[in-house]
Homo-oligomer: A and B are copies of this chain.
Amino acid sequence: MSAEARIGAGGLAALFAIGAIGGLVGDMCHVQSGTTVYLEDPLPYVWDSQLWFPIMVGGGTAALGWIGGLLGARASAAEREEPLRAAATMIASVLALYALTAIVRGEPGSVGIVLCWAVAALICARFARDRADWICAALAMLFGVGTEIVLSAAGVFEYADDIEQILGVAAWLPALYLAYGVVASRLGALLTTR
């Protein structure tokens, strides 16, 4: 009988921290480029973000990593051998895509959409290994984009007028969440002990 596979409390805390800090760095890019604007600020700002944002991304990262491990995402031999290199590569890839979504503001909408979706496809094709990774990508996209649609409709924040939008959020947003979901699942796999 195999030992139970699980992520410990330390692993979940690490996932929360990675997501929260990564979210703050990426959101700073969006706010400073004018891609997004907070319209209501009931909570204190952390860096350029309302406090709920890093908590949401951190919590989402921990949840996705936990779900990925639960659904069978397991670190490959190469990932187990050099976990820090694997984690750094995946985190840097998503942060680069995050910054790219801010850079394409001011470009024609279609160009930004093609570039961001193509880079997201490269990230997914590079890192996704298990069926669980794709499920986490779909979950991240559904809940992430869904939450932003609701918050945008509620007037909590908005995307700039000059950005190509679908239901109030940027047309490249699903691509960013897909890549993020795959990486959260893989980070969960890296932290799952057996």
Contact = CB atoms under 8 A, between A and B. Distances in A.
How many interface residues does chain A have, given as a range? 20 to 34
Interface in A82-127: 85, 88-89, 92-93, 95-96, 98-100, 102-104, 107-111, 114-115, 118-119, 121-122, 125-126
A89 B33 contact: no
A88 to B, nearest CB: 5
Contacts of A96: 114-115, 118-119, 122
A110 to B, nearest CB: 5
> Copies of this chain, how many?
3
Interface string A5-37: 000000000000000000001101100110000
Contacts of A126: 89
B121 A111 contact: no
Contacts of A109: 32
Contacts of A89: 121-122, 125-126
Interface in A53-81: none
Contacts of A85: 125
A119 B88 CA distance: 11
Interface string A154-171: 000000000000000000
Interface of A: 25-26, 28-29, 32-33, 85, 88-89, 92-93, 95-96, 98-100, 102-104, 107-111, 114-115, 118-119, 121-122, 125-126
Given A32-B111, A95-B118, A102-B108, 14 more contacts: A29-B110, A29-B111, A32-B109, A33-B108, A33-B111, A89-B121, A92-B118, A92-B119, A92-B122, A93-B122, A100-B115, A103-B104, A103-B107, A103-B115
